Amino acid sequence: MSNYLELKNYFEKQKIILPILSAWSGHFDFSQWLVFELEPNIMVELGVDYGFSSLSLALPGIGHVYGIDCFDGSATAFGRTDTLDFVRSKISELGLSNITLVQSYFDPAALIWSRPIDILHIDGTHTYNAVKNDFDTWSKFVTERGVILLHDTVSNDGVKQFFSEISLPKLNFLHSAGLGVVSRDASLIDKIKQNFGQIE
C-alpha cells in the first residue's frame, strides 16, 4: 500500500468481504499477512463456496487466485455450492482482476495444471480419503517456500486425522473450524508462530 488512497480503497473492500457467510472468516487477518509476506505469484483454492477465502487472498492485489469448484449444487456447511453467480458478483463489486473462477472437479483440473503454486488452499470434500487425495494430487505443484492450507482441521474428523499425519513443518490455528498451515520452509512456520496466537 503505497499511499492513503490505496489504503482507503483496501479497507473499503474489506467491508464487502467480511460480511460474507463463512466459517473461514476468523482467518482473514492471517490471509492478509500471508499474502503480503510471501508475495505469491499463483494461489489455488480447491473449493470456493461463497468466495470468502478466495476473495480474501485476492484482496491485496498480489499474485493471481484460481478458485476451482464444481459449483454443481452439492451440499456444504452453509447450503449449496451453486454459488457461481454470487461469487462473480462479488468479484465485480470489488473490482478484482486477479481472480479466475474455474468450474471443474479438482482431479480433472490437476491433469491440465502445470504452474508452480505459492499458496494452495484445500477446502473441498472433507472425508479423509478426499482430503488426502487433494493433498497428494496438488501438493506436487507447491513451491519450496509455498504454503498449503487445510480448513476444518478442528471441526472435521477426516481433515483432522489427515492433518495429524502430515510430517512436514506445520501448525494449526484452532479457531474458525481450524486451519492447518503446512510448508517445507520451517523458518516460515516459525515466523507464523511468532506472529499469531491460537496455534497448536
- The CATH number given to 25-195 is 3.40.50.150
Distances (CA, A) of 34 to 5, 78, 138, 171: 23, 26, 20, 14
The answer to pTM > 0.85 is: yes
Measured between alpha carbons, how far is 23 from 187 in angstroms, rounded to an integer? 28
Distances (CA, A) of 134 to 20, 53, 153: 25, 17, 15
| Domain spans of the chain, in order of start | 25-195
* pLDDT string in tens for the chain (200-residue length): 567 778 889 999 999 999 998 999 999 999 999 999 999 999 999 999 999 999 999 999 999 999 999 988 665 544 555 789 999 999 999 999 999 999 999 999 999 999 999 999 999 999 999 999 999 999 999 999 999 999 999 999 999 999 999 999 999 999 999 999 999 999 999 999 999 965 76
